[in-house]
Amino acid sequence: MDTDTPPAPIPASTVVIGRDRPGGIEIFMVLRHERSNFASGALVFPGGKIDKTDRQPGLRPFCPGADKVEDSLLWAMVAAIRETFEESGILLARHNDDDKVVSGSHLASLDCYRNPLNSGELTLMEFLEKENLKLACDQLTLFAHWITPEMAPKRFDTRFFLARAPEGHEGMHDGTESVDSIWISAKEAIGDYKNGKYFIMFPTRMNIQKLGRNQTMDDALAAAESTEIITVNPWVEERETGPALCIPEEAGYGVTAESLDTVMGLRHPDA
C-alpha cells in the first residue's frame, strides 16, 4: 500500500443561508462542538457529507424542477437541504398540495424529525412522504466549490450553495454536533475571527468575505448566478515568510495565499 497517496475527498455540501437586514446581509452559522470529528470548535455554515440515502433514485421525483440536474449535483443539493434541516431546523421544502414553502408555524411541528434524520433512524424520503413535502432545490444557487488540500488527513469535495432564509425560519443549533448558533453579518464574523472570539476555517472565511461584497440577498444571488464557479483545490508553497496555502487568482476571492500557520489556527491572524 502506498502510504503517500492522499485520501480521496468525501463528497459534501454546505449552505450559506442569508437574510436581508437594514445593515446588510446576515448569515446563519453554527458553532461546532469541541469534540466534533471535523471542524471542532469552529463557526461554520450548516452542512455535511453526502450520505447514501441522499443518492436514492427515488428521491428525484421529490425534487421538482431539477429534472435536468446531473446526479452528483442533485445529490449535493439533497444533502445540503437535509443537513441544513438537521443542524439548523431551517427547511428548504414545499408542500405538495399548494407548492408553498413550509411556513414558520408549520416548521415548528417538523422539528421532532431532526434527530431521527440525523441518527439514520429515518430516511429523508420517508420524512418527505410522511409529511407530503418536496425539496425546494430551486432555492439553492451554486456559490463555490472547494476541495480539501491533499496534505490533509481528512478531505472533502464540498459544494457551497447560497439560499435565502424562508420567512419565519429563525434557525436553532441541534445541541449535539453544534452547541450554539447565530445570525451574523460578514463584517462581524470576520471581526470576531480576528479578535479571537471564533475560529473560522479558511474556506468558510473566504466565502463569508465573498458574500460580504453584496448588500442584499438579491444582489448576492444574482452575482452567484452570473459568476463562473472555479473549483478551488488549494496547494502549499514555500514563501519568504514560511509555508503558505495558495488558491488560484481566477477563483475571484481577492486573496491568493495565507500563512499555513494561520490557516491551521496555530498563529493568530493580524487584526
Q: What is the pLDDT of residues 167-193, one digit of tens each?
A: 999 988 876 777 789 999 999 999 999
| Statement: residue 37 has pLDDT above 60 | no
pLDDT at 151: 84
pLDDT at 99: 84
Comparing CA positions, the residue from 173, 199, 175 lying closest to residue 29 is 173
pLDDT at 98: 85
Which residues contact residue 98 at a Cβ distance below 8 angstroms, ignoring those fewer than 6 apart?
none
Q: Are 134 and 128 in contact (CB under 8 A)?
A: yes
Could you tell me the domains of the chain?
A: 14-227 (3.90.79.10)
Q: Tell me the average pLDDT of the chain.
A: 91
pLDDT at 177: 72
pLDDT at 266: 59
pLDDT at 234: 96
Comparing CA positions, the residue from 154, 155, 156, 91 lying closest to residue 117 is 91
User: Per residue in 216-250, pLDDT tens?
Assistant: 999 999 999 999 999 999 999 998 888 999 999 99
- Separation of alpha carbons 19 and 31, rounded Å: 19
Comparing CA positions, the residue from 44, 21, 65, 15 lying closest to residue 217 is 21
- Separation of alpha carbons 185 and 179, rounded Å: 20
